[in-house]
Amino acid sequence: MKKIALFIFLFIISYTLKAQTEKYPQGIYMSFQEVIDNYPSENYTVELEKRTKGKIKMNGGNDYQLNPVDKNVKRKILKKEVYAYSDGNDLFLNGFKHELQFWYSKVEGENENYFVFNAGIPMNMKKYGMESSDISYMFGGIISAFSAAKRALIRLPYVMDKHTQEVILVSEKNIRDLIGESSDLIKEYEKEPEKDDVEMLTKYLSKWISEK
Residue 200 CB: number of other CB atoms within 10 A?
19
> Helix 183-190 and helix 198-211: axis angle, to 10°?
170
> Which helix (DSSP H) or strand (DSSP E) does residue 109 occupy?
strand 104-110
Q: For the whole prediction, is pTM greater than 0.95?
A: no
Side chain identity, residue 33: Q
Q: What is the structure's pLDDT at 179?
A: 87
Q: What is the structure's pLDDT at 12?
A: 39
Residue 154: name the closest of 55, 61, 54 by CA. Answer: 61
Longest dimension (CA), the chain: 71
The domain ranges of the chain are 2-211
Contact by Cβ (8 Å): 38, 23: yes
d(CA 39, CA 24): 8
Mean per-residue pLDDT over the chain, rounded: 83
Q: What is the structure's pLDDT at 77?
A: 95
Q: What is the structure's pLDDT at 183?
A: 84
pLDDT < 50 stretches in the chain? 2-22
Residues in the chain: 212
- Environment class of residue 92 by beta-carbon count within 10 Å: exposed (0-12), middle (13-18) or buried (19+)? buried
Q: What is each CA distance from 195 to 133, 153, 189, 192, 200, in whole angstroms?
A: 19, 21, 7, 6, 7
d(CA 170, CA 158): 5
Contact by Cβ (8 Å): 94, 103: yes
